[in-house]
């Protein structure tokens, strides 16, 4: 069995540049463009959330792309060419998204059918293609990390790369804030569109350049890590669902992951518009909220990894993180009653801190609740739970905002956002309830038996 080449800290940081780029793009799509569509272009909230959710709806394609990169090398390489092709595609689609978003905004203002329906379908299709391109790039990228590390090195590599994702979110938010300061107070689409188009073109070029730097020399021709021997990536969705339903503990943890992720991201489609409409913050300032959240998350990840998890343990730390998320959401809800921008920024730092602590401990739990004999299956199942909840979060966040506006629950612009945050708080409480029902020892015992049954059924 050939030895792995390994990844030094410097190599991990360089490889992590790709993750940092994904973090910056997430701020642009989930933050900046969200806010522009909802507040400046007056999109319905359900349309904003629904269109963005298409990126997550195509997440099952990751299984296919993983199998393709295993079986079909390009230029004798299994990983890096797919990462570069996927990156080139999602960069192109990111640039094309700007004119399409503004074109659909004009069609919404005119209300012309069936042209409007075609425009909405094109927008949803573009975000679906963007999600496919992201999946094409990220799945071989993560496989490359596995190929280059052994079980002892992998936690360090994953920790560094995960932190780089958060660093990308912070840097992306700060860069947007400085680059688009000229748009403060601007609501005219004729001014917004060319500025955002130029900005996105620059971002896409930088992302492509940094991805080239990140992956250069990371994979030798003909080299495929020994992790590929006996990989179970070819597990079908039917098998995955059979595994979820075969064990009560798997179903509980799967449901927890769905609710946990919803409790973190349900406000995503409306957060910047909440700051814009309730706190009267301009575009550059609302984008900074992602930086405050990201800094808090990074500190939370480090605190949990270095101190809290070793001190309390994984499951108690996850419970602590979920309780802090509930408290942060309550504060985020209440601070809109007497809008104060410094208080909002402080709450976002606290929310990020809670998210970092909960995410670190939940990731540790995911590793503990992943049986070695079916690692690919379990990682796929946990990833599916998160993809489902991210998509649902975008849909529900936008839909609840529209429902709040339709119900006229109160005067002013606060009540629709309050409805979103209130529902998100309830979801976070339910996640905590499910977390209290997880037993790691029972999980391994029950799931080991269930896995044997599922595989035996599939073998026929």
Each residue's pLDDT tens digit, 296-318: 988 988 888 778 888 888 889 99
Q: What is the pLDDT of residues 168-198, one digit of tens each?
A: 988 988 888 888 888 877 888 999 999 999 9
pLDDT at residue 228 in the model: 46
Q: What percent of the chain has pLDDT over 90?
A: 40
Best mean pLDDT range from 51-60, 210-219, 392-401, 448-457: 210-219
CB of 171 closer than 8 Å to CB of 203:
no
Q: What is the pLDDT of residues 199-233, one digit of tens each?
A: 999 999 999 999 999 999 888 876 654 444 444 44
Q: Which one, of 167, 146, 440, lies nearest residue 301 by Cα?
A: 167
Task: Tell me the whole-structure pTM to 2 decimals.
Answer: 0.77
Q: How far apart are CA 460 and CA 119, in angstroms?
A: 48
At which residue do the structure tokens 């990989």 appear? 231
Is the pLDDT score of 152 beyond 90? no
The whole-number average pLDDT for the span 431-445 is: 83
CB atoms within 10 A of CB 93: 20
CB of 290 closer than 8 Å to CB of 172:
yes
* C-alpha neighbours within 13 Å on the C-beta side of residue 75: 8
Q: How far apart are CA 97 and CA 103, in angstroms?
A: 10
At which residue do the structure tokens 């730390």 appear? 317
Q: How far apart are CA 214 and CA 12, in angstroms?
A: 9
Q: Does domain 235-460 have CATH number 3.40.50.720?
A: no
Q: How far apart are CA 107 and CA 120, in angstroms?
A: 9
Q: Which one, of 30, 179, 44, 198, lies nearest residue 108 by Cα?
A: 44
More confident residue, 191 or 390: 191
Q: How far apart are CA 42 and CA 63, in angstroms?
A: 37
Q: Which long-range contacts (CB under 8 A, 24 or more apart) does 450-453 make?
A: 450/243, 450/246, 450/247, 450/250, 451/243, 451/246, 451/371, 451/373, 451/374, 453/246
Q: Which one, of 390, 370, 394, lies nearest residue 382 by Cα?
A: 370
Of 45-49, 61-65, 208-212, minimum mean pLDDT range: 61-65
Angular region, 102: left φ>0, alpha ψ -120 to 50, beta rest: alpha
Instruction: Report residue 339: phi and psi, to 5°.
Output: -55, 125
pLDDT at residue 383 in the model: 67
Extents of the domains making up the chain? 1-229, 235-460
Q: Does domain 1-229 have CATH number 1.20.1250.20?
A: yes
The whole-number average pLDDT for the span 156-178 is: 84
- Token pair, residue 85, equals 């092709």
Q: Do domains 1-229 and 235-460 have the same CATH topology?
A: yes
pLDDT at residue 9 in the model: 85
pLDDT at residue 76 in the model: 86
Q: How far apart are CA 340 and CA 32, in angstroms?
A: 21
Q: What percent of the chain has pLDDT over 70?
A: 84
The whole-number average pLDDT for the span 44-72 is: 83
Q: How confident is the model at residue 4 (pLDDT cuts 50, 70, 90)?
A: low
- Token pair, residue 449, equals 């038996």
The whole-number average pLDDT for the span 230-244 is: 55
What's the mean per-residue pLDDT of the chain? 84
CB atoms within 10 A of CB 223: 16
The whole-number average pLDDT for the span 102-131 is: 92
At which residue do the structure tokens 């700051």 appear? 275
pLDDT at residue 382 in the model: 67
Instruction: Report residue 437: phi and psi, to 5°.
Output: -100, 5
Is the pLDDT score of 90 beyond 90? yes
């Amino acid at each position: 069995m050939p030895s792995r080449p390994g990844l030094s800290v410097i190599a991990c940081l360089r490889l992590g540049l790709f993750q940092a780029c994904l973090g910056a793009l997430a701020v642009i799509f989930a933050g900046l463009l969200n806010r522009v569509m909802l507040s400046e272009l007056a999109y319905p909230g359900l349309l904003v959330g629904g269109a963005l959710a298409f990126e997550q709806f195509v997440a099952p394609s990751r299984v296919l792309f993983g199998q393709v990169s295993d079986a079909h090398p390009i230029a004798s390489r299994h990983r890096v060419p797919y990462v570069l092709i996927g990156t080139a595609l999602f960069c192109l689609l990111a640039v094309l998204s700007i004119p399409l978003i503004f074109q659909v905004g004009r069609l919404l203002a005119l209300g012309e059918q069936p042209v409007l329906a075609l425009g909405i379908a094109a927008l949803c299709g573009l975000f679906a293609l963007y999600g496919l391109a992201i999946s094409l790039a990220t799945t071989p990228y993560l496989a490359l990390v596995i190929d280059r590390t052994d079980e002892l090195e992998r936690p360090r590599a994953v920790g560094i790369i995960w932190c780089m994702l958060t660093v990308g979110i912070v840097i992306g938010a700060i860069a947007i804030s400085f680059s688009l300061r000229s748009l403060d107070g601007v609501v005219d689409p004729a001014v917004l569109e060319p500025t955002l188009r130029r900005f996105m073109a620059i971002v896409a070029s930088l992302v492509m350049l940094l991805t080239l730097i990140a992956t250069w020399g990371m994979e030798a021709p003909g080299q495929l890590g020994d992790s590929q021997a006996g990989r179970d990536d070819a597990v079908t969705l039917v098998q995955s669902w059979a595994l979820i339903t075969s064990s009560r503990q798997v179903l509980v943890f799967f449901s927890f992951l769905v609710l946990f992720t919803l409790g973190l991201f349900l406000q995503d489609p409306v957060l910047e518009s909440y700051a814009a409409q309730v706190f009267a913050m301009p575009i550059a300032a609302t984008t900074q909220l992602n930086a405050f959240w990201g800094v808090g998350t990074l500190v939370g990840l480090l605190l949990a990894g270095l101190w809290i998890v070793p001190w309390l343990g994984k499951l108690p730390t996850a419970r602590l993180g979920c309780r802090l998320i509930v408290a942060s959401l309550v504060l985020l809800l209440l601070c809109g009653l007497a809008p104060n921008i410094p208080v909002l920024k402080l709450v976002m730092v606290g929310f990020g801190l809670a998210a970092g602590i909960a995410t670190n401990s939940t990731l540790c739990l995911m590793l503990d609740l992943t049986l070695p004999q079916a690692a690919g299956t379990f990682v796929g199942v946990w990833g599916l739970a998160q993809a489902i909840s991210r998509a649902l979060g975008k849909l529900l966040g936008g839909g609840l905002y529209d429902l709040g506006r339709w119900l006229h629950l109160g005067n002013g612009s606060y009540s629709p956002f309050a409805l979103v945050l209130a529902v998100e708080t309830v979801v976070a409480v339910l996640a905590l309830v499910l977390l209290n029902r997880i037993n790691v020892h029972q999980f391994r015992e029950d799931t080991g038996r269930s896995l044997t049954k599922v595989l035996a059924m599939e073998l026929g």
